[in-house]
């Protein structure tokens, strides 16, 4: 149990995929414009990473070394197809707004990276803990970026169509830069610098 907890917490802080490893940046930048998109993407990544890690960990001893990468890729792509079809059926609006970034989970380096570095070498329970930790770490980072971008860019916060709050001055004069694409680079760059400044990230 202690091992499970250790693998889980590792992904959230020590090897946070976005802020520490700088992996999976494409979705982090592209779908962090609103909290809704970030939530949808996080659910997709958690499902795909969990499913792929479980299956890969189960079959790790029967996959010949030389074809392991293609095997992993096909397993990951199959889970992405499932997520894509489920989203299309039940939350079509979200599927529409995530666009090509949902299928692109298939080539997200975080997922293939965990399959190769962890699930192909470890038993199922540890792989589940690893998948949950890494994907929750990814989700938290994505939500933090989306939270800042949506508040600064629109002056309020809206989850699933209901407005949570609006800020008095900012909602009349929102900083539209933050919901546009350059705003994503700006927010991540400043957050990275902030984390380094307060010592959360060690210098290389």
Q: Is residue 200 part of the contact set for other proteins (CB under 8 A)?
A: no
With binding defined as CB under 8 A, does residue 78 bind other proteins? yes
Residue 14 in contact with other proteins, rule: CB under 8 A: no
Figure out which of the listed residues 84, 122, 135, 154 binds other proteins, where binding follows CB under 8 A.
Answer: 84
Stretch that binds other proteins, among 35-43, 108-116, 119-127, 166-174 (CB under 8 A): 108-116
C-alpha 121: how far from chain center = 23
Rule CB under 8 A: say whether 107 interacts with other proteins.
yes
Q: Which residue among 39, 49, 80, 126 contacts other proteins (CB under 8 A)?
A: 80
From the list 26, 40, 30, 6, the residue with the least C-alpha distance to 132 is 6
**What's the rounded Cα separation, in Å, for the pair 38 and 44?**
10
Q: Which residues, in sequence order, are bridge partners of residue 157?
A: 165
Residue 14 CA to residue 188 CA, distance in Å, equals 18
For the residues of 144-178, what is the DSSP string, one character each? HHHHHHHHHHHSEEEETTEEEEE-HHHHHS--GGG
Q: Choose which of 61, 173, 197, 202 interacts with other proteins (CB under 8 A).
A: 197
17 makes contact with other proteins (CB under 8 A): no
Q: Write the DSSP symbol of residue 106.
A: G
103: its two tokens: 């299928």
Strands 162-166 and 156-159: antiparallel
Binding residue for other proteins, selected from 15, 21, 59, 103, defined by CB under 8 A: 103
Binders in 24-53 for other proteins, by CB under 8 A: 25-26, 29-30
What's the closest the beta carbon of residue 125 comes to other proteins, in angstroms? 28
CB 191 within 8 A of CB 19: yes
CB of 6 to other proteins, least distance (A): 27
- Interacting residues with other proteins (CB under 8 A): 22, 25-26, 29-30, 70, 73-74, 77-78, 80-81, 84-85, 99-100, 103-104, 106-109, 112, 177, 180-186, 188-190, 192-194, 196-197, 203-204
């Amino acid at each position: 149990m202690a091992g499970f907890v250790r693998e889980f917490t590792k992904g959230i802080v020590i090897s946070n995929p976005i802020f520490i490893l700088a992996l999976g940046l494409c979705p982090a930048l592209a779908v962090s414009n609103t909290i809704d998109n970030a939530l949808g993407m996080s659910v997709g990544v958690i499902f795909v990473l969990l499913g792929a890690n479980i299956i890969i960990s189960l079959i790790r001893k029967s996959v010949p070394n030389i074809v392991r990468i293609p095997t992993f890729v096909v397993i990951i792509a199959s889970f992405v197809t499932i997520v894509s079809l489920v989203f299309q059926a039940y939350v079509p609006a979200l599927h529409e707004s995530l666009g090509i970034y949902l299928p692109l989970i298939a080539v997200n380096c975080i997922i293939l990276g965990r399959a190769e570095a962890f699930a192909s070498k470890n038993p199922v329970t540890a792989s589940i803990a690893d998948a949950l930790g890494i994907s929750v770490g990814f989700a938290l980072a994505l939500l933090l970026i989306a939270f800042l971008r949506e508040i600064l860019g629109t002056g309020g916060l809206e989850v699933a169509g209901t407005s949570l709050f609006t800020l008095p001055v900012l909602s009349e004069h929102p900083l539209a830069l933050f919901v546009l694409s350059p705003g994503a680079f700006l927010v991540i760059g400043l957050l990275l610098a902030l984390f380094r400044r307060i010592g959360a990230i060690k210098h290389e």
